[in-house]
Structures are given as structure tokens and as C-alpha cells.
Structure 1
Amino acid sequence: MLESKRIYLRRFEEKDAPLLLKWGQNTRYHDMAGFEQIQNMDQAVKSVHQYMARPESYVICLRDGDKAIGLIELYERGMDEQSGLLKTKEIGFLLDQACEGHGYMTEAVRLILTYAFKKKRQTEVWAGTFADNKKSQKLLQRLGFHYVYTVDYSQVSALFSFKEKYYLLKKEEWLKIDANTKS
């Protein structure tokens, strides 16, 4: 389990289905973070099983009261050894809007970055945000991520109508930032 003073990250469990239903019925999470739309409990249970099957998907919980307040994931960018992508990951995250503005997501991202770079021995971590998701972009920049490029997915497929900005954090940069926050 990954933990800090105020939060901890735990694996998904079936009991998290109602939370996924709550987020899946709120268009804000779909519009801001691309969270899937979930209409009923059957879909929520199916969704929670998908999260449970992913090796690095976590529920963000408050230590005080054990309340689930968000999710964070560390996932593969590719499986080709020769491309070097096995040493890179991408993060995704979502925080319940009732918990915004308290620094919980900053703590969660710090936990997952430390885990990725120190335990998983990753060389870089990427993050993508919808182009108009300024809060997530500011969070990433505060934690040392640098903007690299934007993809206009409407140019890729008529099924998509959004742009996504991609940010990168390299291990060397994170280790310097992490060392400076502890001193």
C-alpha cells in the first residue's frame, strides 16, 4: 500500500462500484477527464472489475475515515522492449469534486511518481490532459512535468472531438524535485 500523512492508495474492490457509478453519471468527469459514462450498477460492477484487473490502478482514500475520494493509475505506454517503452509509464487520475482544493491529488501523484521511479525503475512518466483541463495541467507543471505536444484526436478519427496535451517527467528531474521537498 502506498501512503502519505493524509491519504493512501489501495487496489480497487467490488465495494467501489457505487463510487464509479456516481462519477460515471456526472458528465463533469467525462468532460474533464474522459471518465467513462456509467448508467447503472451493472455497468459500474463491470467497470470496477476492469480496474481490478489492471495491475497499477488505485483508489485514493483519506486516512481519516477511510473514505474513497479518487483514483490514480500507472499504465503501460507500450510493450515493445526495443522501443524502450517498457521503462516508461503514463499516469491518469481523477478526484471527487467535493475534495478539490485540499492538495490530495498532489499527494497521490507524488506517491505514484515515487513508486514508479524508485520501485518500478521507470525512466519517464507521461500524462495526458484534455486541452481545457487547466487544473490538471497546473498540477503536473507544479510537480515538474513539462509540456511536450498536443494531439487533435478529431484529426485521427471522426469518433473523437477533443484535443489532449501531453506532459513528460523524467526520472532525473523527479529525483531532484523529490529530494528538495524532503529537505
Structure 2
Amino acid sequence: MLKTERLLLRKWTEADADSLFQYASDPEVGPITGWPPHKSVEESKEIIRNVLNGPECYAICEKENNIAIGSIELCLNGNTNMTTRDDACELGYWLGQPFWGRGYMPEAAKELLRHGFEDLGMEVVWCGFYDGNQKSKRVQEKLGFVFHHTCSEVPVPLLHETRVEHVNVMTKEHWGKCCAGRC
């Protein structure tokens, strides 16, 4: 478990299925990040068992109630198409709409980046967003990510479409110089 001033980042459990469904069924949340809204609590349970089960995947919870309101993950080599290196990973995240605009995602991501660089020995963290996802773009800017490249015609298999993706990067050196605890 990881902690910030206001949040807990902990492993997902099947007991989180109701809250996952509550936020992941919102059509404003999943599609902008590449997945369809959840259709049932049972589907949310399956997602917890089969998708939100990575070794560095965490439910984002407010400290006072420990209820899952979003998800954040460092996708390690083998679970991302952004790198084949063992010392590099991809940061992915989403947050339930009622919690947008509170600074929760930058707060959670700062802690996960710290964990990745300090505890897991990562040298590079990649992060991307689809064209039009301004909220995700702003989170990455606040965190100190640097633009790397844009890919056109990126497959989004869960939505049966292709999109433009903007890819950003943060190195351990950059994080240590400008971001560790300050941005």
C-alpha cells in the first residue's frame, strides 16, 4: 500500500466491484481512455480479476473511507507496448468523474512515480493520452512529463477504432532534478 496526504493506493479486491462499476459505467470516463463503460457489477468483478490485477496496479482511495474511486498503474515490461526494457514502464490512470478537479490524480501519480523510480529501480516511465483527452494531458504536464512523439492510427481494440496518441516520457534523472517532491 502507498499513501499520500489525502489518498491510499492499494490493491484491488473483488469487494471493490460496486464502486468500480459506479465510476467505470460513466460514459465520460472509459471511452476517453480507450475502454467501454462497464455494463454490470459482474463485469467490474471480471475486470478486477483479469485487468486490474497487475503487480503495480492500485485502486485510488480517499483516506477517510478507503473506497476505490479510480485506478493507477505502472505497466511493467510485458504488459505495455511502450517499452521492452525491464527498467522502463508505462503509467496509466483514470479517476471517477465526481473526483475530477481536486488534484487527486497528480497526487496519486507523484507517489507512484516515486515508487517506480526509488523502489522499483525504473529508469524511464512512459505515459500517453489520446487526442482530445485534455485532462490527461494536463496531469502529465503537471507531473513534469516531456513530449516524445505522436502516433497516428493507433488501434484501440476495446472500442474497435483507431486514434491519435501523444506519448510523453520521464527519465529518472529528470524526475530527480525537477520533480521529486516539488512538482
Range of TM-score over shorter length? 0.7 to 0.9
User: Do the aligned partners of 1:129 and 1:136 also contact (CA within 8 Å) in 2?
Assistant: yes
What SS does the aligned partner of 1:26 have? coil
| 1:161 Cα deviation after fit | 2.6
Could you tell me which runs of 5 or more consecutive residues in structure 1 were left unpaired when the two chains were aligned.
none
> TM-score by structure 2 length?
0.87
CA separation in 2, counterparts of 1:51 and 1:31? 16
Cα–Cα, structure 1 residues 84 and 15, in superposed 2: closer, same or farther, change >3 Å? closer
**Larger RCO, structures 1/2 (Cα 8 Å, 6+ apart):** 2
Partner residue, 1:163: 164
Quote the residue 2:49 is aligned against: 49
1:64 and 1:41 map into 2 onto residues whose CA distance is 24
Partner-residue secondary structure (3-state), 1:35: coil
Q: Which moved more, 1:146-155 or 1:86-95?
A: 146-155
Structure 2 spans left out of the alignment, 5+ residues: none
Matches within 5 A, 1:1-183: 1-78=1-78, 85-153=85-153, 159-179=160-180, 181=182
CA contact (8 A) 1:13 1:52 kept: no
Aligned-pair identity (%): 29
Contact 1:24-1:37 within 8 A present in 2 as well? yes
| Distance across 1 between alignment mates of 2:84 and 2:96 | 34
Distance 1:36 1:76 in 2: 23
1:154–1:36: structure 2 CA closer, same or farther, 3 Å change rule?
Answer: same
Residue 170 of structure 2 aligns with an amino acid whose one-letter code is: L
Q: Which one has the largest radius of gyration? A: 1
Aligned residues: 179
SS at match of 2:105: helix
What is the rounded CA distance, in whole Å, between the counterparts of 1:122 and 1:31 in structure 2? 29
Residue-by-residue CA offset, 1:127-160 (whole Å, 9 max, x unaligned)? 1111111111121112110111122236899x42
Runs (4+) of structure 1 exceeding 6 A deviation are: none
Change (3 A) 1:70 1:156: closer
1:122, 1:171 within 8 Å by CA — same for their partners in 2?
A: yes
Q: Is the contact made by 1:57 and 1:73 (CA closer than 8 Å) also made in structure 2?
A: yes
Say whether the 8 Å CA contact 2:77–2:84 is kept in structure 1.
Answer: no
Cα distance, 1:172–1:36 mapped onto 2, change above 3 Å: same
Aligned Cα root-mean-square deviation (Å): 2.4
Which whole-Å CA distance do the structure 2 matches of 1:10 and 1:171 have between them? 24
Looking at structure 1, the residues matched to 18 and 41 of structure 2 have their Cα atoms a distance apart, in angstroms, of 7
CA shift for structure 1 position 14? 0.5
Answer whether contact 1:24 1:35 (CA < 8 A) is retained.
no
Output the CA distance in 2 between the equivalents of 1:176 and 1:117.
Answer: 13
Q: CA separation in 1, counterparts of 2:2 and 2:85?
A: 24
Higher helix fraction (1 or 2): 1
